[in-house]
Amino acid sequence: MKKNSTFSIVLITLVATLGGLLFGYDTAVISGAEGALQTYFTDSLGLSSLVHGITVSSALIGCIIGGLVSGYIASNIGRKYSLVVAAVLFIVSALGSAFPEFLFFTRGEPSMELLITFNIYRIIGGIGVGLASAVSPMYIGEISPPKIRGTLVSLNQFAIIFGMLVVYFVNWGIAKGQTIEWINDIGWRYMFLSETIPAVLFLVLLFTVPETPRYLVLKNQDEKAMSVLNKLYEKAVAKATLVEIKSSFDNNKAKSKLFSFGKTVVVIGVLLSVFQQFVGINVALYYAPRIFESMGAGRDASMFQTIIMGLVNVVFTLIAIFTVDKIGRKPLLIIGSVGMTIGMFGVGGMAFSNTIGIATLIFIIIYTASFMMSWGPVVWVLLSEIFPNKIRGQALAIAVAAQWAANYFISSTYPAMMEFSGGLTYTFYGIMSLLSAIFVWKFIPETKGQSLEELENMLNLSKDKDQEKSLDEAI
């Protein structure tokens, strides 16, 4: 690589990871506001806990939509400008969620119509999250050299977790020392409004980064692609990389349909996404303060414990960043699955015995730490790698949409499941964690250290009838 090119690539990556930071910020901001939203909307209107669960999770509807359209948008306006669209949606959502009464309603007078309007603004933000969740790792994966691609894509997960940690601090700072009445009337609005700061920064910085060379080749803009590569690599390496990218597209001119390379690679991507959510991670993230309150902590203490959990998440995400290109993707996933299984079975056992205390907190930390060093970052690395260039946008869109659909199902059903049985709820997540380890062991290949085009050749599973048949029999 060119002298200082690694530094340039890292800077470009950091701009793209702001999409991940906003992904984390937008999805976790609800954790501090959900209690106030229940009082302000659900309780005052006499609505059920199911309606509250849907409200807390409504952004996920937008995430599904954003995930579904991400492939179309990224393939037509580019990876860079897809992120610009996401940034604008984040800004609109933050302002609208904070002040849903704007133009049409009277402040301080909750109604069903106002609740619907609030959810619409949350869905708009969710569309931004869905776009960013697919396009940010795609952008980073396409701009990164093979030897550090895993590390750089993992930075996006670090940004997601860091965004969650930042908003935990913000929510705690807003709520600290305030009366519950103030939080229920005003505080929750400031929590949502705070998102405008990173969203505006993201929008401005996006205009300083280039489009990815692989997208430019896809659009027959070879000269622009070469110009980008020349800024990042030595001339000979840039030329060889362009030839490799062009060869990938030229060799697969007829292979532009989703299942042109066989359905196995797409099914693997979808199952990776579904397992990442069915292990229950977003229950721990969205409802963290409430979980800690159920353990006997007060509101301020529960938000502070959430910050501790956020710090643990950051530390263990860093472990993944520094090991994913050394240990590899597959071993990290299996280790993480085992840790999550222990953590969730432990929480389930505590719930069955009605023993709530420090042991429960320890098991939750074991669970979230195991996820953050494995399934959190590594799934995004794999999703940015395993799909061939020609169908990457389409396939990643399907996988991300499936991920958000699974997220919505798990998150929206959590309150009702907990009313039925907390022990069974956490045991279910433990079983899913165990099954995720078996899935990785059986079906996930190791991808570290190879270019996207080399991986495309290795993962051209339409020619591998034995593996196709094995997966078909398994599912």
Per-residue pLDDT tens digits for 433-445:
999 999 999 888 7
> Angle formed by the axes of helices 235-250 and 222-232, to 10°?
140
Concatenate the DSSP letters of all residues of 201-229 into one string.
HHHHHHTTSPPPHHHHHHTT-HHHHHHHH
The Cα–Cα gap between 449 and 325 comes to 7
Each residue's pLDDT tens digit, 257-305: 655 556 777 888 899 999 999 998 877 665 555 566 655 555 555 556 6
CB neighbourhood size of 371 (10 A): 28
The Cα–Cα gap between 382 and 331 comes to 13
The Cα–Cα gap between 26 and 30 comes to 8
Number of H helices, E strands in the chain: 23, 0
Distance between the two ends of the chain, CA-based, in angstroms? Answer: 43
DSSP-derived 3-state class of residue 48: coil
The Cα–Cα gap between 267 and 138 comes to 18
> Angle formed by the axes of helices 375-385 and 149-175, to 10°?
140
Take residue 227 and report the two structure tokens written for it: 């110009």
| Domain range list for the chain | 5-209+252-474
Concatenate the DSSP letters of all residues of 71-103 into one string.
HHHHHHT-HHHHHHHHHHHHHHHHHHHH-TTTT
HSE on the CB side for 452, CA within 13 Å? 31
CB neighbourhood size of 276 (10 A): 25
Residue 28 vs residues 92, 171, 346, 359: alpha-carbon distances, Å: 17, 10, 24, 24
Over its C-alpha atoms, the chain yields an Rg (Å, rounded) of 22
The answer to whether residues 454 and 323 touch, using CB atoms and an 8 Å cutoff, is: no
Length of the chain: 475
Residue 25: which H helix or E strand, with range? helix 5-37
CATH 1.20.1250.20 fits 5-209+252-474, yes or no: yes
The answer to whether residues 73 and 131 touch, using CB atoms and an 8 Å cutoff, is: yes
The stretches in the chain having pLDDT less than 50 are 254, 461-475
Q: What is the pLDDT of residue 302?
A: 59
The answer to whether residues 144 and 10 touch, using CB atoms and an 8 Å cutoff, is: no
In 3D space, the residue among 196, 174, 200 whose CA is nearest the CA of residue 33 turns out to be 174
The Cα–Cα gap between 242 and 248 comes to 10
Take residue 167 and report the two structure tokens written for it: 């908003």
Q: What is the pLDDT of residue 464?
A: 46
Q: Provide φ and ψ at 230, rounded to 5°.
A: -65, -25
Take residue 89 and report the two structure tokens written for it: 């949606």
The Cα–Cα gap between 205 and 172 comes to 28
The answer to whether residues 354 and 296 touch, using CB atoms and an 8 Å cutoff, is: no
The Cα–Cα gap between 64 and 317 comes to 25
